Amino acid sequence: MEEVLALVGEDPSRDGLKRTPERWEKAMRFLTSGYHTRVEDLVNGALFAVKVDEMVLVKDIEFFSLCEHHLLPFHGRMHVAYLPTNKVIGLSKIPRIVNMYARRLQVQERLTQEVADAISDAIQPRGVAVMCEASHFCMMMRGVEKQQSTTVTSAMVGAFREDNATRNEFLSLVGRGHR
């Protein structure tokens, strides 16, 4: 980090920057802590046998991540739904899974799919749907410089991919249905 500061024309030894390299390292360790976490550890046995076959949806899960191309932040909300078979997952585990994958160097498309796959693998539901809406600082601060744009990605697994009615119910519940 000292070299980077010098490359951009700063003096890494000036008062305000003396401890910046260690603060940056600490921040990066936190922002990429998802590499040192496993879904199994997050779930921690919070799977419960329940006879429910209707959609479970956790909406508006806030997240932040770092774009792997520019190391600039992107942030937004994720909506995660699943159709249980014989078990449900503790509701707080879903945002924890989102955070785990978001705290890695990412692209939004992969982040969306990783969350869907993790939920699917953890509880083997009839289907999983994930929608991610995010703003990217790499588009806001550089390049096209569009501050109001958002990117929407989705991953549909099982019944959400195969059944239009199920997919449309999810989209309607997250406010993205047919108008």
Dihedral sign for Cα 140, 144, 149, 152, please. Answer: negative
Instruction: Give the Cα-Cα-Cα angle 175, 111, 177 (nearest 5 degrees).
Output: 15
Alpha-carbon distance 95 to 115, whole Å?
10
Per the residue annotation, which of 22, 68, 109, 162 is the catalytic one? 68
Examine the residue annotation and report whether 36 is marked as an active-site residue of this protein.
no
The question of whether 69 is a catalytic residue gets the answer: yes
Q: Looking at 79, 113, 114, 136, which residue is catalytic?
A: 136
Catalytic, 70? Answer yes
Q: What phi and psi values does residue 60 have, to the nearest 5 degrees?
A: 55, 45
Residue tagged active-site, from 79, 108, 113, 169: 108
* Annotated catalytic residue, options 62, 69, 75, 109: 69
d(CA 61, CA 146): 24
Active site residue 79: no
**Catalytic status, residue 162:** no
Q: Please report, for residues 47, 74, 85, 169, the alpha-carbon distance to residue 160 in angstroms, rounded to integers and kept in the order given.
A: 21, 26, 14, 9
67, 79, 114, 132: the catalytic one is: 67
Please report which residue ranges of the chain form alpha helices under DSSP H. Answer: 2-7, 20-31, 39-43, 93-102, 108-123, 137-140, 159-162, 164-173
**Which residues are tagged catalytic?**
67-70, 108, 136, 138
